[in-house]
Amino acid sequence: MSQPAAVSAKSPKATDSTMFNILFIIGICHLLNDSIQAVIPAMFPILEKSMGLSFTQLGIIAFSLNMVSSVLQPVVGVITDKKPMPFALPIGLSLTLCGVLGLAFAPSFGLIVISVIFIGLGSAVFHPEGSRVAYMAAGNRRGLAQSIYQVGGNTGQALAPLITALILVPLGQRGASWFTIVAAIAVLLLIYIANWYKNRLIENLPLLKKKNTMST
């Protein structure tokens, strides 16, 4: 092996460096997003008492949330694979913020379902794009990066019992309004992430053009 080749083999590439600050921020955003989702099932006993909802109606609420937040994820993934949209992340969490606000003050079952759909839409946008950010920031530590991202989400889901005991039981349905603060924090963090994401795409644009030229 020639000396230049040996040097290049030993020296790390810029793309191999792991951006831990980005990973921790997107992990925190995953925590905030999934903790908001955890609010919905945590509110079931409160909604059953305050609005007299039946188990069927509670099931429809859960179905609406899970179907929208899960089934639309591959659709978002396909679209953003073709055309990355960095600012879809804060826009998605803005939908979640609107949904949480609607959930706190919804006077009827129908408006609760609509609010939950907004929360599901925000989650459907966040998860595939959040996973992409974790991949882009991973460098040569993709397993660790995905683990950091997943720990955030799992921690958010685990907060449901605490949310019920500390916020929803004493404050009732209106207590969900406190999670607009959580959503707003996530939106601000994701604006930072989106700017980093956008700059990373600009940096990689010449490389992508070179690959396309070589393939043709």
Condensed to tens digits (0 to 9), the pLDDT of residues 195-216 reads 999 998 888 765 544 444 444 4
pLDDT tens series, the chain, 216 aa: 444 443 333 334 445 688 999 999 999 999 999 999 888 888 898 888 888 899 999 999 999 999 999 899 999 999 999 988 899 999 999 999 999 999 999 999 999 999 999 999 999 999 999 999 999 999 898 999 999 999 999 998 888 778 878 888 888 888 888 889 999 999 999 999 999 999 988 887 655 444 444 444
Look up the domain containing 179 and give its range. Answer: 19-199
Write the CATH number for 186: 1.20.1250.20
Cα angle, residue 61 at apex, residues 45 and 64 outer, rounded to 5°: 155
What whole-number distance in Å separates Cα of residue 168 and Cα of residue 7? 60
Asked whether residue 4 is assigned to any structural domain, the reply reads no
Residue 205: the pLDDT is 64
8 Å CB contact between 137 and 26: yes
Number of domains in the chain: 1
Task: Output the CA–CA distances (angstroms, integers) from residue 125 to 72, 76, 158, 193, in the order listed.
Answer: 8, 6, 21, 14
What whole-number distance in Å separates Cα of residue 210 and Cα of residue 149? 31
State the DSSP code for 87. Answer: T
Residue 84: the pLDDT is 87
Residue 48: the pLDDT is 87
Give the residue among 25, 32, 24, 29 at the shortest CA–CA distance from 159.
Answer: 32
Asked whether residue 151 is assigned to any structural domain, the reply reads yes
8 Å CB contact between 28 and 149: no
Q: What is the pLDDT of residues 122-162, one digit of tens each?
A: 999 999 999 999 999 998 989 999 999 999 999 988 887 78
Asked whether residue 135 is assigned to any structural domain, the reply reads yes
Q: What is the pTM of this model?
A: 0.83
Residue 168: the pLDDT is 83
Asked whether residue 164 is assigned to any structural domain, the reply reads yes
- Cα of first residue to Cα of last residue in the chain, in angstroms, is 31
Asked whether residue 123 is assigned to any structural domain, the reply reads yes
Asked whether residue 6 is assigned to any structural domain, the reply reads no
Residue 213: the pLDDT is 46
Q: Please, what is the angle between helix 88-105 and helix 20-42, to 10°?
A: 20
Asked whether residue 210 is assigned to any structural domain, the reply reads no
8 Å CB contact between 11 and 148: no
Asked whether residue 83 is assigned to any structural domain, the reply reads yes
